[in-house]
Amino acid sequence: MTRRTLGQWLAYLEQLHPSAIDMGLERSREVANRMGLIKPAPRVVTVTGTNGKGSTCAFVASLLQAQGLKVGVYNSPHLLRYNERVQIAGVEATDEQLCEAFAAVEAGRGEISLTYFEVGTLAAFWLFQRAGLDAVVLEVGLGGRLDTVNLVDADLALVTSIGVDHVEYLGNTRESVAYEKAGIFRSGKPALCGDLNPPQTLLDKAHELGCPLFIRGRDFDLATTEQVWHWRGLSADGSVIELRDLPLLDLPMENAALALQSYALSGLPWQPERIAQALQATRVTGRLDRRSFKWQGKTLNLLLDVGHNPHAAQYLVRRLMQRPVTGKRLAVFGLLADKDLDGVVGEFSVPVEHWAVAPLDTPRTRPAAEVAAVLRRQGASVSEHGSVMAALEAQCERASEADEILLFGSFYCVAEALEWLERRATEEAAHGFAG
């Protein structure tokens, strides 16, 4: 039989199951048991939440790797390449590794139908288990309780924030969302919550399972100034520990604070300088992601962010206010139809000189005309474009070197911009003027 390429595997997996999302663990648990995928590493950190999962995972992994641990990280979705979802010791899985893992799951599932996400998750577990890791950091895809990631028992369960999103699966209240997210808690194992006001359903679940519960604002917290930030928390023996005068981060420091509390419970060495370096070195593509590039003789500044709900927009605005630009801000924006457009736009209190809006490259997009109409009602200056790329190029024409182009609103937005940047870099290198 001819071996499938990664692209062929992914196309095959997309049509394997009648629905893209099928909540429940019975089918994937049966396959995991058949394949012996019980615990992919001696230390498992599972991360869920409405926003901030990706950066929290990245912070946790950085802190563990700074101690010389071999760490696997599982994230979703990806921006450009599926390989981004699986990292082993800081390196993305190769096409060959992923194809081998998909083939192993295909052999293991037999007659059982699995979704694309379920196969991908089991494939990641299979790769992790074979890699001889010290720890894995697993990002929940959706919810928690019924997500395939939850097949593995977490030694530390982290909840970043609790907002209302994916209402068709998680319910339309914070209580119902929190119940689903608390599904990753395990009996007697520490549970951490970065939300300042966790709903009662989460507190009840921690109490029911006897989980030591660490809540931001009570057991650990952060304080920021214009120049630095400070952290305090609890060690595994319950004593208070502090880190002061940490350099400000581009990524959400609330998520760094949560990651720090998880590290404080790990029993690993507490080395303030090494910890600060690990946090500073943490990067996540597409999250407060700053890029500079050449455009028609100008050096332009681009800030990419995948924030696509009111909570994420609120955070983005806060960070923009902390980092004023010498020129003006120009926005490139598109949103999926099922996201809260009014809520996202309503959070945008920071001045934006001009908005360029576009449809996303998916049938799930919200039409650009709808997005533009909402912005105009807010008094914004708006132009409509046929694609994210066209909108970005229009803003490049408009921008000066002192300006900042803010491109946000969806993974689709950011992915298209990254492809565009990659293509430009390749073209420039080919013409001998990379930089």
Q: Tell me what pLDDT residue 50 has.
A: 87
166 has pLDDT over 80: no
- For 252, other C-beta atoms within 10 Å of its C-beta total 25
Percent with pLDDT over 70 in the chain: 95
Higher pLDDT, 173 or 182: 182
pLDDT of 67 above 80: yes
| Cβ pair 190, 211 in contact under 8 A | yes
Q: What pLDDT is recorded for position 433? A: 42
- Segment 12-38, tens digit of pLDDT: 999 888 776 777 799 999 999 999 998
Average pLDDT value for residue range 127-142: 95
Query: What is the pTM for the complete model shown?
Result: 0.85
Return the pLDDT at 162: 87
Whether the pLDDT of residue 242 is over 70: the answer is yes
Give pLDDT, residue 2: 64
Q: DSSP assignment of 225-274, as one string?
A: -SSEEEEEEE-TTS-EEEEEEEEP-SS-HHHHHHHHHHHHTTT----HHH
Least confident residue range of 85-94, 96-105, 312-321, 425-434: 425-434
The pLDDT of residue 291? 92
**What pLDDT is recorded for position 165?**
62
DSSP 95-126: HHHHHHHHHHHHHHHTT----HHHHHHHHHHH
What's the pLDDT score for residue 167?
Answer: 54
The whole-number average pLDDT for the span 175-187 is: 93
pLDDT category at 266 given cuts 50, 70, 90 is: very high
Tell the residue number behind the tokens 């396959």, with chain if given.
31
pLDDT at 435: 34
Which of 307-321, 345-359, 396-410 has the weakest average pLDDT? 307-321
Domains and CATH numbers, the chain: 6-280 (3.40.1190.10), 289-430 (3.90.190.20)
Looking at residue 424, its pLDDT comes to 84
- What 8-state DSSP symbol labels residue 3? P
Confidence of residue 287 (pLDDT cuts 50, 70, 90): confident
- Read off the pLDDT of residues 290-310 as tens digits, 9 standing for 90 and up: 999 999 999 999 999 988 888
At residue 163, does pLDDT exceed 90? no
What average pLDDT does the structure give for the chain? 92
Residue labelled with tokens 């409509």: 384
